[in-house]
Amino acid sequence: MKSKVLVLGCGEMGEMAIDDLVTFGSFDEVIIGTRHPEKAKPVMARLRSKRTKLSVQQVEVHDRDKLAALMRGVEVVLNSAGPNYKNALLVAHAALQAQVDLVDMSDDYVSTAELLALDTRAKEAGVTFVIGLGASPGINNVIARLGANALDEVEEIHTAWIMSGADPGGLALSYHLLYSLSGKALTFQDGKYIEVQSFRDGREVLEFPKPVGSMEVFHIGHPEPVTLPRYFKNLKYADDKASFNPSFVNDWIVNLRELGLCAEEPATINGVTYTPMDIAAAALHKTCKNLQEYRKEGALRVEVKGKWRGKTTRLIYAASGRIAQGTGIAAAIGAQMLADRLVEEKGAFAPEGCIDPGIFMQELLDKRSIGELITKRIEE
C-alpha cells in the first residue's frame, strides 16, 4: 500500500515541511490540504521534479467531516494551518475522528494545554499526537530532553529564542504573536505557575551564536513553561524568554494589545467585515516584511541545570538559523518518525515527552546539515 502524509496549510512553514518531506521523506505521496489550493501551485511546480507524488486538496479545517475524510488513508497528518489558537484543536478533533497520527507546530500556550488534555482520547483512539514540534516550541523542547538525559537530576530548564523582524513568517504567525505574546504569560517558578507580562518582565541578556550575538530577552507567552514541568517531575523552574531583532518589534506587539487591536469582535467597514485583530495582524506582518535592512537569522538557546554525579552542572545549547527551516523541517522529521514507528507511545505529547533526541538531532544536523548546535558544559 502507498504511504501518504497530509500537510495542512501551505504557507511559509508548510512549504518548508513539504519540501523536506519530498526531499528526505519516504512517503509515496504528500497531499497538501489547504483552503486556497491555487496558492499551492508554485510550491507544486517547484517540487515537481522530485520523486514523491504531490497533490493538493481544497479543505477548510472548520469542516470536520470533510477534513476527517481527507485524513483517512494517510499515515500521518502534519498541521501547519495556523493560527493555532483558532485551528489546532479543530484539526486534532478531526484526527481523533479519523484515528490518524498528528504532528503540529502549536505555539499558543492556552491551546497547547487544551491539545495535551486530549491525551486520554488519543490513547483510546490508538493514535499519537506530537504537539508543538517546530523550532520553539519544538527543537528547543527536544534539546531540553537531550540535556535532561545527560544529567542525573534536572532542576531548571531555561529556553529562549530570537526572531528576526525581517523574517516574520506568514500571516498566521502574526496572529499568534499578537494573541500569545502581547499580554500575560506563564512562567514556572518554585514548582508553581506565575503570571508575568510578555516583553516586559524577566529582562536578562543572553549570548546567542553568530550572527545574532548578545541580546536582551524577556518572558513571553509560549508553551515551553507549560509543557516542560509535565515531563520533568522534580523541575523547580521552567521559562521561555525571547526578543525580536530589532527589539522595537517587541513594543509594537505589546502596544497593539494596549490599543485594543487584539480584539476579535467583528466590525463592518465599507461593507467588509474585519476584526481589529485582522487589521493588526496584517499591519504587523506587512511592517515587519519592510524591515529588510535587518539580518534574517534568528536563534535558539536552551540551558538545562541539574546534578551530575553530585555536581551542579549546567548544559547550554544554542544554534542560529532561519525560522521556516527550523520549524518546517522539525515538523517534517516528526511526521517521518511517526510513520517509521519511532514514537511508540499513544496519546498527546509535547516533543520532550515522546521524541528521541538522538534520532531527531541526527536527522536535523547530520542528514539535513541545517546548522551547528553549539554545546557548553559548566560544572560548579
Ligand X SMILES: NC(=O)c1ccc[n+]([C@@H]2O[C@H](COP(=O)([O-])OP(=O)(O)OC[C@H]3O[C@@H](n4cnc5c(N)ncnc54)[C@H](OP(=O)(O)O)[C@@H]3O)[C@@H](O)[C@H]2O)c1
The count of chain residues that interact with ligand X, using the rule CB under 6 A, is 36
Query: Which value, in Å, is the radius of gyration of the alpha carbons in the chain?
Result: 20
Question: What is the biggest distance separating any 2 CA atoms in the chain, rounded to whole angstroms?
Answer: 68
**Shortest approach of ligand X to residue 60 CB, angstroms?**
5
The Cα–Cα gap between 376 and 330 comes to 23
Closest to ligand X by CB, 95 vs 151, is 95
In angstroms, what is the minimal distance from the CB of 36 to ligand X? 4
Build a one-symbol-per-residue string for 305-334: x at contacts with ligand X by CB under 6 A, - elsewhere.
Answer: ------------------x---x-------
Contact 104, 122 (CB under 8 A): no
82's enclosing H/E stretch is none
**Residue 84 or residue 182: which is nearer to ligand X going by CB?**
84
* Binding-site member from 83, 229, 321, 334 for ligand X (CB under 6 A): 83
Q: What is the DSSP string of 269-308?
A: ETTEEE-HHHHHHHHHHHHHHT-TTS---EEEEEEEEEEE
CB of 12 to ligand X, least distance (A): 4
Report the alpha-carbon angle 115-19-365, nearest 5: 80
Residue pair 135/12 in contact by the 8 Å Cβ criterion: no
Cβ distance to ligand X smaller for residue 129 or 314: 129
Stretch that binds ligand X, among 165-173, 186-194, 260-268, 287-295 (CB under 6 A): 165-173
Q: Decide: is 170 part of the binding site for ligand X (CB under 6 A).
A: yes
- Under the binding rule (CB under 6 A), the answer on residue 105 touching ligand X is yes
At 84 the three-state DSSP class reads: helix
Q: Is residue 80 involved in binding ligand X (CB under 6 A)?
A: yes
* Site membership for ligand X, residue 35 (CB under 6 A): yes
Q: Are 187 and 218 in contact (CB under 8 A)?
A: no
- Interacting residues with ligand X (CB under 6 A): 9-14, 34-36, 39, 59-62, 80-84, 87, 105, 107, 132, 134-138, 169-173, 176, 323, 327
